[in-house]
């Protein structure tokens, strides 16, 4: 499960890099710092994850579902993911779309908790 979470968090972070057409060489070190700290990834593994994400379609919804399922009601870990995402967003020029994407991802991560809470009651 840890590998699935790592891949989904990597895809989530790479989604912003790809969407904004950012320079992979410029964003790579920050991407690697974030994944390396949280998932004990080597620089080569991080760059491979980023490169693979940049070359393929990123199914944001599927990766958000994986993260939500894995972290369920772990709001602290979800906040940490948002903090990481924010670091990626702020590493370059910020656009209105960046704000919208951040808000959408935040809503998806935390609405899952409320939806499941309602199901249990």
CA 97/CA 70 separation, integer angstroms: 27
pLDDT category, 67, cuts 50, 70, 90?
A: very high
pLDDT tens-digit map of 8-22: 999 999 999 998 888
Domain spans of the chain, in order of start: 2-120
pLDDT tens-digit map of 45-64: 999 999 999 999 999 999 99
Q: Of all residues in the chain, what percent carry a pLDDT higher than 90?
A: 65
CA 1/CA 87 separation, integer angstroms: 25
Q: Are 52 and 100 in contact (CB under 8 A)?
A: no
Q: How many CB atoms lie within 10 A of CB 74?
A: 14
CA nearest to 14, candidates 46, 39, 62:
46
DSSP 57: -
């Amino acid at each position: 499960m840890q590998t699935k979470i790592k891949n989904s968090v990597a895809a989530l972070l790479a989604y912003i890099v790809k969407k904004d057409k950012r320079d992979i060489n410029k964003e790579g070190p920050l991407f690697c710092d974030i994944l390396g700290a949280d998932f004990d990834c080597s620089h080569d593994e991080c760059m491979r994850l980023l490169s693979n994400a940049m070359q393929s379609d990123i199914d944001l919804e599927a990766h958000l579902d994986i993260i939500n399922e894995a972290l369920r009601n772990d709001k602290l870990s979800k906040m940490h993911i948002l903090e990481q995402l924010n670091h990626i967003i702020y590493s370059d020029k910020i656009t209105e779309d960046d704000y919208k994407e951040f808000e959408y991802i935040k809503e998806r991560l935390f609405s899952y908790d409320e939806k499941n809470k309602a199901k249990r009651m």
